[in-house]
Amino acid sequence: PWNMLSKNKLKSIDGRIDMSEHHDPLFEAWERIKPVFIKLPDNSSITAEYAGTIQFYNNLTIYNVLYIPNFVFKLIFVPKLISDSNFTLVFSHKSCQIQDNTTFKMIGQVDMHEGL
């Protein structure tokens, strides 16, 4: 059995695992999940064993973000993000803008980096 704890600490009830060594300051909380196998654009594969919550801005919190130690990018499943939020995503050839559907304000922008 696993407990989700805030501020990047995850331990089994018997204390066997301490995720603090894999600190990622963006994650507010995380938990162990059934492993998810991910194929990257360069055809390599990685496995995610944790998912958590990231708050990018005051009005942009994303849940169930896959956490992969030593992987510099945050992978977000766009259909899940759209279905779980009140955002519109606008894609261009080099960036993605995030717009709040209630206020119609742009609340964030992510630029492409190394093809991702």
The pLDDT score that the predictor gives to residue 69 is 73
Q: Is the pTM of this model over 0.85?
A: no
**For 5-16, how does the pLDDT look when each residue is reduced to its tens digit (9 = 90+)?**
333 344 443 333
Overall average pLDDT of the 37-48 stretch: 84
Between 26-35, 74-83, 91-100, the lowest mean confidence (pLDDT) is in 74-83
The pLDDT score that the predictor gives to residue 83 is 79
For the sheet with 95-100, list strands across it.
87-91, 95-100, 106-111
CB contact set of 86 (below 8 Å; sequence gap of 6+): 100, 101, 102
